Structure 1
Amino acid sequence: MHMYRRTALAMVTGAALLLSACTGTGGTSKGAAADAPTDPAEVSGTIKVLTVRTDLVQDGTMDRYAAEFRKVYPKVKVEFEALTNYESEVKIRMNTENYGDVLLIPAVIKKDDYPKFFASLGTVEERSEKYRFTDFTAVDGKVYGQSPVGVMPGFVYNRRVWREAGVTEWPTTPAEFLTALKAIKAKTDAVPYYTNFAAGWTMSSWTAVNGSVHCDPEATTELAEGDPWAEGADLRVGDTLLYDIVKQGLAEKDPTTTNWEQSKARTAQGEIATQWLGTWAIVQFQDAAEKAGADPDDIGFMPFPAQTDGTFCAVVGPDYNQAVNVHSAHKEAARAWIDWFTDKSGYDKDNLAISPLKNGTLPEVLGPYEDAGVKLIEVSDAKGAEVKRIDNESETGLFAPEYRQKLVDLARGSGRGTLDDFFADLSKRWTEAQR
Structure 2
Amino acid sequence: MRRGISIAAAVTVIALTATACGGSDDNSSSKPKAAGDISGTITYWDTSDAATEAPTYKALIKKFEAKYPKIKVNYQSVPFSDVEQKFKSAAKSGKGAPDVVRTDVGLMAEYASLGYIAPLDGTIALKDTSDFNSGPLNTAKYNGKTYGVPSVTDTLGLLYNKDLLKKAGIAQPPTTWDEFITDSKTIKKKTGAYGTYLNPDSYFLLPLLYSNNADMADTSAKKITISDANAVTAITTAKKIQDEASMKVDYANAYQNMQTAFKTGKVAMLVQGPWSVSEDLSGSAFKGKETNLGYAPVPAGPGGKAQAPTGGHNLAVYQGSKNLDAGYLFTQFMTSTDSQVEIAKGTGTLPTRKSAYTAEVTADAKIAGFKPILEQTARPRVALPQVGSLFTPLAQNYVKILQGSEDVKAGLDATAKEFQKLLPGYTIG
TM-score with structure 1 setting the length: 0.71
2-structure distance, mates of 1:127, 1:89: 31
- Out of 376, 395, 408, the position equivalent to 2:402 is 408
Question: Where does residue 174 of structure 1 map in the other structure?
Answer: 177
1-structure distance, mates of 2:54, 2:219: 41
2-structure distance, mates of 1:328, 1:67: 21
- Report the identity percentage: 18
1-structure distance, mates of 2:278, 2:349: 9
Structure 1 unaligned residues grouped into runs of 5+: 6-25
Aligned 8 A contact 1:212 1:304 in 2: no
Question: Where does residue 269 of structure 2 map in the other structure?
Answer: 274
Report the residue type matching 1:81 in the other structure.
S
Structure 2 unaligned residues grouped into runs of 5+: 6-20
Question: Where does residue 119 of structure 2 map in the other structure?
Answer: 120
Question: Where does residue 351 of structure 2 map in the other structure?
Answer: 355
- Out of 91, 94, 101, the position equivalent to 2:91 is 94
1:419 and 2:419 matched: no
CA shift, 1:250, in A, is 2.1
2-structure distance, mates of 1:189, 1:251: 11
2-structure distance, mates of 1:271, 1:61: 35
1-structure distance, mates of 2:246, 2:309: 28
SS in 1 for 2:158: strand
Identify if the C-alpha distance between structure 1 residues 217 and 258 changes in structure 2 by more than 3 Å, giving closer, same or farther.
closer
CA shift, 1:323, in A, is 0.5
1:240 and 2:236 matched: yes
1:306 and 2:309 matched: no
Identify if the C-alpha distance between structure 1 residues 325 and 409 changes in structure 2 by more than 3 Å, giving closer, same or farther.
same
Question: Where does residue 151 of structure 2 map in the other structure?
Answer: 148
Larger mean CA deviation between 354-363 and 160-169 belongs to 354-363
CA shift, 1:309, in A, is 7.6
CA shift, 1:179, in A, is 1.4
Question: Where does residue 19 of structure 1 map in the other structure?
Answer: none
SS in 2 for 1:313: coil
Larger mean CA deviation between 103-112 and 30-39 belongs to 30-39
Aligned 8 A contact 1:70 1:77 in 2: yes
Aligned 8 A contact 2:280 2:286 in 1: no
Aligned 8 A contact 1:156 1:281 in 2: no
SS in 2 for 1:252: coil
Report the residue type matching 1:256 in the other structure.
A
CA shift, 1:77, in A, is 3.6
Identify if the C-alpha distance between structure 1 residues 116 and 195 changes in structure 2 by more than 3 Å, giving closer, same or farther.
same
Report the residue type matching 1:211 in the other structure.
Y
1:230 and 2:233 matched: no
1-structure distance, mates of 2:394, 2:287: 35
SS in 1 for 2:306: strand
Question: Where does residue 291 of structure 2 map in the other structure?
Answer: 297
CA shift, 1:316, in A, is 6.2
Identify if the C-alpha distance between structure 1 residues 222 and 179 changes in structure 2 by more than 3 Å, giving closer, same or farther.
farther
CA shift, 1:406, in A, is 2.0
Report the residue type matching 1:248 in the other structure.
E
- Out of 104, 107, 110, the position equivalent to 2:102 is 104
1:363-417 residue CA offsets vs partner (Å, 9 max, x unmatched): 554656888x997256477x6228x47x96xxx646863233223222xxxx2x4
SS in 1 for 2:151: coil
1:72 and 2:44 matched: no
Larger mean CA deviation between 291-300 and 269-278 belongs to 291-300
SS in 2 for 1:48: strand
Question: Where does residue 326 of structure 2 map in the other structure?
Answer: 333
SS in 1 for 2:270: strand
Question: Where does residue 167 of structure 2 map in the other structure?
Answer: 164
- Out of 37, 40, 49, the position equivalent to 2:44 is 49
Aligned 8 A contact 1:324 1:334 in 2: yes
Identify if the C-alpha distance between structure 1 residues 141 and 280 changes in structure 2 by more than 3 Å, giving closer, same or farther.
same
SS in 2 for 1:169: coil
Identify if the C-alpha distance between structure 1 residues 32 and 255 changes in structure 2 by more than 3 Å, giving closer, same or farther.
same
RMSD, matched Cα: 4.4
Identify if the C-alpha distance between structure 1 residues 423 and 253 changes in structure 2 by more than 3 Å, giving closer, same or farther.
closer
TM-score with structure 2 setting the length: 0.72
Identify if the C-alpha distance between structure 1 residues 431 and 141 changes in structure 2 by more than 3 Å, giving closer, same or farther.
closer
